[in-house]
Amino acid sequence: MPFHFDPRRLACSGLAAGLLAGCAGTPAPLAEDVADRVARQQAAMAELRSALPEQAMDAETAVAYAAGHNLEVRLATLDRALAAGAIDLASIQMLPSLSVQAGYLKRDQVEAGSGDPLGRHTRSAELSWGALEFGSAWLRTREAGERGLIYARREREQLGRIAIETRLAWLRVANAERRTAQMAEADRLLGHGEALLARLEAAGLRDPLVHAQYRDSLLALRGQLRAVGDQASAARGELAGLLTSDRRQPPRVAADAVQQDTLLASVTATLAIPEDTLETHALRHRADLRELDVQARILRREAQLTWLNALPVLRLFYGRQYDTDLRLDPPYWQQQGYSLAFNLLGLASAALQNRQLSIQRGQTDLHQLALGFAAVEQVRLGRERLALALADWRDAEARRASSARIAEIRLARSPFYEDDELEQARAQVTALQAGVAADRAWEALLERYLQLLQASGVDVWPDALPAFEADRPLEATAEALRRHWQALPQRVAELAREVG
Judge contact between 344 and 247, C-beta under 8 A.
no
Percent over 70 (pLDDT), the chain: 79
Per-residue pLDDT band for 357 (boundaries 50, 70, 90) equals confident
Distance (Å, rounded) from C-alpha 321 to C-alpha 234? 76
Q: Tell me, which fold does domain 65-99+119-499 have in CATH?
A: Outer membrane efflux proteins (OEP) (1.20.1600)
Within 8 A by CB and 6+ apart from 320, the residues are: 124, 125, 126, 332, 333, 334, 335
CB 432 within 8 A of CB 411: no
Cα 230 to Cα 104, 173, 205, 225, 235, distances in angstroms: 80, 12, 37, 9, 9
pLDDT value for 471: 62
Can you give the length of the chain in residues?
Answer: 500
pLDDT of residue 387: 93
Instruction: Count the Cβ atoms, other than its own, within 10 Å of residue 309.
Output: 18
- Determine the 3-state secondary structure of 101 from DSSP: strand
Give how far Cα 331 sits from Cα of 87, 99, 127, 337, Å. 42, 20, 20, 21
Q: Which amino acid is at 301?
A: R
- 323 SS3 class: strand
CA 343 – CA 330 distance, rounded (Å): 39
**Domain regions of the chain by residue span:** 65-99+119-499
> 213 falls in which pLDDT band (50, 70, 90)?
confident
Lowest mean pLDDT segment, chosen from 81-90, 319-328, 340-349, 378-387: 319-328
Work out the pLDDT band at 116, boundaries 50, 70, 90: low
Task: Please give the C-alpha separations between residue 327 and each of 105, 159, 324, 332, 335, in angstroms, as whole numbers.
Answer: 17, 71, 8, 10, 17
Cα separations in angstroms, 476 against 65, 425, 481 = 11, 47, 9
Q: Edge-to-edge, what's the strand order for the sheet holding 332-341?
A: 97-106, 119-130, 313-323, 332-341
Question: pLDDT band at 3, cuts 50/70/90?
Answer: very low
Distance CA 58, CA 486 (A): 14
Residues 271 and 269: their CA atoms lie apart, in Å, by: 6
For the chain, the average pLDDT equals 78
Q: How far apart are CA 58 and CA 256, in angstroms?
A: 5
Residue 319 is predicted with a pLDDT of 66
89 — phi, psi (to 5°)?
-65, -45
What average pLDDT does range 389-408 have in this prediction? 92
Q: What average pLDDT does this structure show over 291-311?
A: 82
Q: Does residue 7 have a cis peptide bond before it, meaning omega lies within 30 degrees of 0?
A: no
Q: pLDDT tens digits, residue range 43-57?
A: 777 766 666 677 788
The continuous run of DSSP H or E covering 339 comes out as strand 332-341
SS3 243: coil
427-439 as b/e: b if 16+ CB within 10 A? bbbbbbbbbbbbb
Span 416-461, pLDDT tens digits: 666 777 788 888 888 888 888 998 999 999 999 988 988 888 888 8
* pLDDT tens track for 231-290: 888 888 888 888 877 666 667 777 766 677 878 888 888 888 888 888 888 888 888 888
29 three-state secondary structure: coil
Mean pLDDT of 102-120: 65
132 vs 130: CA distance, rounded Å: 5
Q: Is the pTM of this model over 0.85?
A: no
Q: Which residues neighbour 308 within 8 Å (Cβ) at sequence distance 6 or greater?
A: 132, 135, 136, 139
- C-alpha to C-alpha distance for 458 and 489, rounded to whole angstroms: 12
